[in-house]
Amino acid sequence: MSGILPQLLFSGLAIGCIYGLVGLGFIQVYNAVGLTNFAQGEFVMLGAYLFVSAVVIWKAPFWVGFLFLLVGMAVIGFLFTRGVYKPTYKAGRFAFLLASVGLSMALQDLVVLIWGPVPLYMPRLVSESSFNIGNVFINPQHIIIIGSTILLLIIQYLIFQKTPLGKMMRATAQDQFAATLSGIKVPLMIIFTFVNSSILAGIAGFLVGPVFSVTPSMGASAMLKGFVGCTIGGWGSIPGAVLGGILVGIIEIFSSFYISSAYKDAIVFLVLILFLLFKPKGIFGETVSEKV
Amino acid sequence: MRNKNMFLRFIVGVLLISFVLTAGCSAQTQTEQPVETEPNAVETPEETQPVEETKLEPIKIGVITEITGVQAVAGKAAQESINQYVKELNANGGLLGREVVVLYEDDQSAQTVAVNAFNKLVLEDKVAAILGPLYSTHCLAIKPRAEELGFPWLAMGLNDRIGTEDDPKWTFQGRTSDAYTPTLVLNFLEEQGKHNPAIMYIGDDFGIDGKDKFVKLLDERGWTVATIEAMQTGDKDFTAQILSIRASGADSIIAWLHQEEAGLFLRQLEEQGVDKKQIPVIGNSSFLGAGVTDIAGQSAVGTYVISGTAPMLQNPEWSQKFFDEYGANPDFLAADSLDGFATIVRAIELAGTTDPESVRQGFLSIKDWIGPFNFAHTFGTAEAPQHGVFSSIIVTYDENLQTEFVAQVTK
């Protein structure tokens, strides 16, 4: 059967982009405050639910739904900073890690209480029918996912490299003490970082919702794979997070097809272990022994 | 020191919030419902009480279901149908002249929690009988404890080990077990002239056992298996599996999945160009679950489903009542839960009292009893003493995504 290789590559790339976007949120928080937010996957899920609430339940136009998602995720990011990061940061990484894990579990149950357990349908911007190029079936939503990831990377690059806000956030990430001495309001920059990473996660939920369906557990797998992607790509590196995520997506789908679909997760985690053993800094990053 | 205190305060805070949130989830179901008037139950072991004294006390029946966790959709369906049924039952005089009270326990879609819930219902709440979870993995976890405690319960999982392995005495099975359905599926494929199916299964007890049975049966019939593909609960992308199926030359697909994966699988089959008219798909009852047609949309059209119940076809009157109360059509989980609960009520009715041994005998006395969905229940046969149901229905989705009758199949 022809077309298998490009089909696998295309689908792996699309799913990998989602892992990459989740990883991007991980990295931003890590770079800014040296912590890993394990509720990042649930932020993906919340983004999808916010959008569905607006567009499907309240029948708002698409753009209103998207705006609602952005504002909602910004508020969630702010609340997370005040409610979880601020009370725990002085207590060390373990306290924050524990709090974010606890929050992720609580959020899943909270979503069941509010929206119910039945999977929700999320409408798409593009046609639901796939089209055929050669013998490769293209899901239009996958093109949206890949294109949006590229666009978001460009936007993130412009924000961080070209705007004063981005420069202040980078300064905060590099050395909070020096940034404070330079007159930068470090707590405000940290809030911006969490807000930014929450919005990224929410957009990931918006992108993946039509493909995955919207369920309380939809973020859990993406979170785990995004984390693996960050480790493979290298903690601290933004391109590493995205590339790592894409690699995870591609490894997953290729191992499913060529080895066994029953062991695809095991194979992904085997690759993670190999990286930890032989290239602990990941492809682009720094030593990761402290992350897990 | 200040940091330490802050840290401790925060940990306590997070734990409290998590507790309140999760307790909030289960609190709505761990309370007794749907009782019109709050009962004044005296927590005394029923077997030690004279019958005269218990006459006015409510009969407590426990229900363990998936209210939170990845399989929470099952718990919602179970609660809705059982609540509606018990409300009517109590309005019509209750059971044995006593009010029926349902005690729900959330198994959080986890085996260990399911066992703890069973212990609580038996040892603390002192219920008369228990309706078990809809998922086989949880039922298999509960079963040894039920046998150890000597307490009658009706498992709603499909795995045949529930009713057969280790010769259970107290465990009954309320749905057509997997010992029979694979044969019925293959008979159906035979009628379609399909002898080279691909098997797609979910990687848990339910899916793996189902897959193993199909492989064994296919081998016995001298058929070939085009390919065997797995997915895990929570998986979202099945491109690789579908490509393998396409490449295998399969003439049909047997899919043994849970409902969220079922909806996604159907949609992705269509996205990957698999034509169900050429390669028919027959799935387990999950393919009739709530949300499947929402997720799959028109991709569900033409899918065959084998299920114990198809409520809209088997009991349209009840389905309408359900719709009027909850604003949505009942799915097979709601119907199966109602059927199971009604079976327990029947067993207690036949027992005439609520001590465990009498209720067990009540189950064994059920012979050719027609439940709410018009198929017979018989326990205590020599061949399958703990199995109560041997009936399945095959349906398909029509163009309007409504279920259409294909065949009624019995063992």
* A119 with B247: Cβ contact below 8 A: no
Q: Which residues 55-114 in chain B show a CB within 8 A of chain A?
A: 68, 70, 72-73, 75-76
Q: In sequence order, which residues have a C-beta less than 8 Å from that of residue A183 and are 6 or more positions away?
A: none
User: Nearest-CA distance from A164 to chain B in Å?
Assistant: 33
pLDDT at residue A135, rounded to an integer = 79
**Please, which pLDDT band fits residue B216 given cuts at 50, 70 and 90?**
very high
Residue B195, class by beta-carbon neighbours within 10 Å (0-12 exposed, 13-18 middle, 19+ buried)?
Answer: middle
Give pLDDT, residue A99. 94
Comparing CB atoms, the residue among A110, A215, A265 nearest residue B21 is A110
Q: Does the pLDDT at position B195 exceed 90?
A: yes
Q: For residue A257, give every residue at least 6 positions away whose Cβ sits within 8 Å of its Cβ, in sequence order, or none.
A: A4, A8, B240, B243, B244
Burial of A283 (0-12, 13-18, 19+ CB in 10 A): middle
The shortest C-alpha distance from A60 to chain B (Å) reads: 19
Determine, yes or no, domain membership for B5. Answer: no
Residue B3 domain flag: no
Q: Render A30-78 in DSSP notation, one character per residue.
A: HHHHS---TTHHHHHHHHHHHHHIIIIIS---HHHHHHHHHHHHHHHHH
- pLDDT reported for residue B129: 97
Q: Does residue B109 sit in the same domain as residue B47?
A: yes
Q: Decide if B365 contacts B359 (C-beta within 8 A).
A: no
Mean pLDDT lowest among A127-136, B219-228, B393-402? A127-136
What is the C-alpha to C-alpha distance for residues A186 and A166, in angstroms, rounded to an integer?
12
Instruction: Say yes or no: A83 contacts chain B, CB-CB below 8 A.
Output: no
In a domain, B244, yes or no: yes
Joined tokens for residue A121: 């349908």
Examine residue B14 and state whether it is found in any structural domain, yes or no: no
Collapsing DSSP to helix, strand or coil, A216 comes out as coil
Q: How many CA atoms lie within 13 A of B347 on its CB side?
A: 34
Number of domains comprising chain B: 2
pLDDT of residue A133: 86
List Cα–Cα distances, B402 to B287, B288, B374, B395, in angstroms: 12, 10, 20, 10
Sign, CA torsion B171/B63/A119/B296: positive
Percent above pLDDT 90 for chain B: 62
Residues B55 and B119 in one domain: yes
For residue B86, tell me if it sits in a domain: yes
Mean pLDDT score of chain B, rounded to an integer?
Answer: 85
Of all residues in chain A, what percent carry a pLDDT higher than 70?
97
Q: What are the tens digits of pLDDT across the range B351-382?
A: 999 999 999 999 999 999 999 998 899 999 88
Residue A24 tokens, joined: 């991007």
| C-alpha of B344 from chain center | 15
Instruction: Answer for the pair A130, A138: CB distance below 8 angstroms, yes or no.
Output: yes
pLDDT digits (tens, 9 = 90+) for B176-185: 888 888 999 9
**Above 70 in pLDDT, residue A215?**
yes
- Token pair for B294: 């929402």
Does B260 sit within 8 Å of A213, measured CB to CB? yes
Chain B CA closest to residue A118: B73
The verdict on a CB contact (< 8 Å) between A90 and B229 is no
Nearest to A246 by CA among A8, A75, A58: A8
Q: Chain A within 8 Å of B19 (Cβ-Cβ)?
A: no
Question: Band of the pLDDT at A286, cuts 50, 70, 90?
Answer: low
In whole angstroms, give the CA distance from residue B391 to residue B175.
9
- Shortest distance, CA B334 to any CA of chain A (angstroms): 13
DSSP line for B313-332: HH-HHHHHHHHHHHSS---H
- Render pLDDT for A32-73 as a digit per residue (tens, 0 to 9): 888 889 999 999 999 999 999 999 989 999 999 999 999 999
For residues B155 and B254, state if they share a domain.
no
Q: Name the percent of chain B lying above pLDDT 70.
A: 86
**Environment class of A68 (CB within 10 Å of its CB; exposed 0-12, middle 13-18, buried 19+):** middle
CA distance B52 to B354: 13
Least confident of A96-105, B23-32, B82-91: B23-32
For A123, the token pair is 């409408």
Q: What is the pLDDT of residues B53-102, one digit of tens each?
A: 445 689 999 999 988 877 777 888 899 999 999 999 999 999 999 999 99
Q: Which are the contacts of A262, defined by CB distance < 8 A and separation ≥ 6?
A: B203, B230
> CA of A121 to nearest chain B CA: how many angstroms apart?
6
Rounded Cα distance, A257 and A264, in Å: 9
Asked if residue B131 lies in contact with residue B75, where contact means CB atoms within 8 angstroms, the answer is no
Average pLDDT over residues B199-228: 93
Query: What gap in Å lies between CA A102 and CA A89, rounded to an integer?
Result: 16
Q: If DSSP states are collapsed to H, E and C, what string results for B95-154?
A: ECCECEEEEEEECCCCHHHHHHHHHHHHHHCCCCEEECCCCHHHHHHHHHHHHHHCCCEE
Note whether B368 and B257 are same-domain residues: no
CA distance B301 to chain A (A): 15
> Does residue B245 contact residue B253 with C-beta atoms inside 8 Å?
yes
Query: Cβ contact (<8 Å) for A261 and B11?
Result: no
C-alpha–C-alpha distance, residues A290 and A138, integer Å: 40
Contact at 8 Å (CB) between B252 and B194? yes
Computed over every residue of chain A, the mean pLDDT equals: 89
Residue A108 CA to its chain's centroid (Å): 17
Nearest to B297 among A7, A112, A128 (CB): A128
The whole-number pLDDT of residue B39 equals 36
**Set of chain A residues whose Cβ sits within 8 Å of the Cβ of B294:** 118-121, 213
B278 and B329 belong to one structural domain: no
- Does residue B1 register a pLDDT over 60? no
Q: Answer whether residue B322 shows pLDDT above 90.
A: yes
Contacts of A199 (CB under 8 A, 6+ apart): A70, A73, A74, A77
Q: What per-residue confidence (pLDDT) applies to B284?
A: 94
Q: Is residue B122, in this structure, part of any structural domain at all?
A: yes
Structure tokens of A150? 């590229």
Q: What is the CATH number of the domain that holds B112?
A: 3.40.50.2300
Tell whether the model's pLDDT for residue B249 goes beyond 50: yes
Q: Which of A13, A137, A145 to mutate to test the interface with B (most CBs of B within 10 A)?
A: A137
Tell me the DSSP string of B4-73: HHHHHHHHHHHHHHHHHHHHHHHHHHHS-BS-SS--------GGGS-HHHHTTSPEEEEEEE--SSTTHH
B238 and B289 assigned to the same domain: yes
In a domain, B2, yes or no: no
Q: Are A195 and A77 in contact (CB under 8 A)?
A: yes
Question: What's the angle, vertex CA B382, arms to CA B381 and CA B384, rounded to 5?
Answer: 65
Rounded Cα distance, A165 and A143, in Å: 31
B36 and B165 housed in the same domain? yes
Torsion-angle region of residue A183: left (phi > 0), alpha (psi -120 to 50) or beta? left
- Burial (Cβ within 10 Å: 0-12, 13-18, ≥19) of residue B301: middle
Report the b/e string of B147-156 with b at 16+ CB within 10 A: eeeebbbbbb
A-contacting residues in B 230-269 (Cβ below 8 Å): 230-232, 234-237, 239-241, 243-244, 246-247, 259-260, 263-264
Of B45, B16, B294, residue with least CA distance to A119: B294
Query: Measured between CB atoms, which of A119, A221, A261 is closest to B241?
Result: A261
When pLDDT is cut at 50, 70 and 90, the band that residue B4 belongs to is very low
**Domains of chain A by residue range:** 4-219
Identify the pLDDT of residue B2: 45
Q: Judge whether B113 lies within some domain.
A: yes
Return the higher-pLDDT residue of B309 and B72.
B309
Query: Tokens representing B18?
Result: 């998590």
- Chain A residues 4-33 with a CB less than 8 Å from chain B: 4, 7-8, 11-12, 15
**Segment (H or E) for A251:** helix A238-258
How many CB pairs (< 8 A) connect A and B?
140
* Same domain assignment for residues B157 and B212: no
SS3 of A14-32: the string is: HHHHHHHHHHHHHHHHHHH
Cβ within 8 Å, pair B237-A211: yes
- Do B65 and B139 fall within a single domain? yes
* Dist. CA B56–CA A225, nearest whole Å: 57
CB contact (8 A) between residue A109 and residue B22:
yes
Q: Cβ of A95 and B240 within 8 Å?
A: no
Task: Please say whether the beta carbons of A40 and A25 come within 8 A.
Answer: yes
Residue A174, H or E segment? helix A164-174
For residue B36, pLDDT beyond 60: no
When scoring B134, B243, B248, B331 by the number of chain A Cβ atoms within 10 A, the one with the most, hence best to mutate, is B243
B263 contacts on A by Cβ (under 8 Å): 119, 213
CB contact under 8 A, B73 and A130: no
Same domain? For B223 and B275 the reply is yes
- Start-to-end Cα distance in chain A: 42
- Tell me the mean pLDDT in the region B19-33: 40
Structural domain range at position B150: 28-176+316-380
**Could you tell me if B295 lies within 8 Å of chain A, comparing CB atoms?**
yes
Q: Is A248 on the interface with B (CB under 8 A)?
A: no
Contacting residues for A157 by C-beta, under 8 A, at least 6 apart: none
Q: Strand pairing of B376-377 and B369-370?
A: antiparallel
**Residue B17 scores a pLDDT above 80:** no
pLDDT band at B21 (very low <50, low <70, confident <90, very high): very low
Spell out a b/e string for B60-90, using b for 16 or more CB atoms within 10 Å of the CB, else e: bbbbbbbbbbbbbbbbbbbbbbbbbbbbebb
